[in-house]
Amino acid sequence: MGETVLVTGGAGFIGRSVCNELLARGHKVRVLDSLIEQVHGEVDGSRLLPADVELLVGDVRNRDIVSKALSGADSVINLAAEVGVGQSMYEIERYTSGNDLGTAVLMEQLIEKPVRRIVTASSMSIYGEGLYRDADGRHVQDAERSARAGQGQSWEPLDQQGRPLTPVPTPEWKRPDLASIYALGKYVQERTTLIIAGAYGMEGVCLRLFNVYGPGQALSNPYTGVLAIFSSRLLNDQRPVIFEDGEQRRDFVHVTDVARAFADALELPQAAGGVFNIGSGHDRSVREVGQALAKALGKDDLEPEIAGKGRIGDIRHCFCDGTLAADRLGFRAAKDFGEGLAELAEWVAGQTAVDRVDAAKAELEARGLVA
């Protein structure tokens, strides 16, 4: 029998897919979302969600609206968060308040109105640099590189002898290395969930999401996922801008796979207390992805613009080792990347987007966060 599930941030890109998945599994869904303009644009929030979803518009930092949202809820999926590595490096109060304080208010209200299980969205950003292997075959968890690579200096992390390190899939046991305020906040959300759930007889689960993509992303938000940012540029006949040299590698996972992972994490008994990577298990260079998206949109002539500069807080390589999620939850991403990219391109072609990428880049440069 289905539960009543509160989804905070449920009107967002990932949240809407999660709501659809929960409804398909027979759950009753209530959403709490502040519908901020940067994420949602100037739209009627009630039109973003299926008719069967109950929508409460409000801020997760407001204890009264959170208490109301929790009334009668059996479980919670916590997606509410400010999103964006670059922006977090100068809008520090906004990100700390939205992510850290928002989670704190939710947890305090859960003490008064406990639920069976809380599933919180964490992020691959908490790893900082992913896991590497050195020339002698040893794992390196704390790879470092210069934040401001000079002319001729490698973008790649090197060992103490100056030898290049080889990136390998990153498992959950890798030590966190918090390289941005956004990463710090996601780690706070993760740990707060597990601490409070354990202390008050609830079950906590955290999912460390890799690069989520798919139809419905906020194309006019220059701090969202890289594929949405590229889409906005291409839709406006502009070349995608890629920092560094474009060879940094990431793991792109489709939003429908992520929604399935959240529903599984909510339902499966063996998920309780766990922290799981959620990715596709395939790594791709950012340049390769930019070229593939341009081709899918029929804009092959718009080759990515390689900035040759890095952003403070960015990492070089991080991609998913999904062994634990496969073993414990039976989770494996199902969506083929080529198919998912074609689906994204078809959706993007029917959208309009305000290209704010240049303005966002200028903001970072003015604050000394690009070099």
pLDDT tens profile 264-307 = 999 999 999 999 999 999 999 999 999 998 898 888 888 888 88
From the CB of residue 338, how many other CB atoms can be counted at a distance below 10 Å? Answer: 10
What's the pLDDT score for residue 149?
A: 45
Taking the CA atoms of the chain, what radius of gyration do you get in angstroms?
20
CB 31 within 8 A of CB 95: no
Contact 48, 16 (CB under 8 A): yes
Supply φ then ψ for residue 30, to 5 degrees: -120, 135
CB-neighbour burial class of residue 163 (10 A; exposed 0-12, middle 13-18, buried 19+): exposed
Instruction: Give the pLDDT confidence of 42-86 residue by residue, as tens digits.
Output: 444 557 788 899 999 999 999 999 999 999 999 999 999 988 777
Domain boundaries, the chain: 4-366
Residues of the chain above pLDDT 70, percent = 88
Give residue 370's pLDDT band: very low, low, confident or very high (50, 70, 90): low
CA atoms within 13 A on the CB side of 274: 22
Is residue 231 scored above 90 in pLDDT? Answer: no
Mean pLDDT of 30-40: 78
Q: How high is the pLDDT of residue 43?
A: 46
* pTM (two decimals): 0.92
For residue range 220-230, list pLDDT tens digits in order.
565 566 777 88
CA–CA–CA angle 140, 142, 146 (5° rounding): 115
d(CA 148, CA 311): 8
Fold of 4-366: Rossmann fold (3.40.50)
**Angle at alpha carbon of residue 224, lines to 219 and 228, rounded to 5°:** 40
**What does the block give as tokens for 64?**
């009264």
What pLDDT is stored for residue 355 in this prediction? Answer: 62
pLDDT in tens, 106-141: 999 999 999 999 999 999 999 999 999 999 999 999
Catalytic residue among 127, 132, 182, 223: 182
H/E run at residue 5? strand 4-8
Output the average pLDDT for the chain.
Answer: 88
171-213: pLDDT as tens digits: 999 999 998 899 999 999 999 999 999 999 999 999 999 999 9
200 is catalytic: no
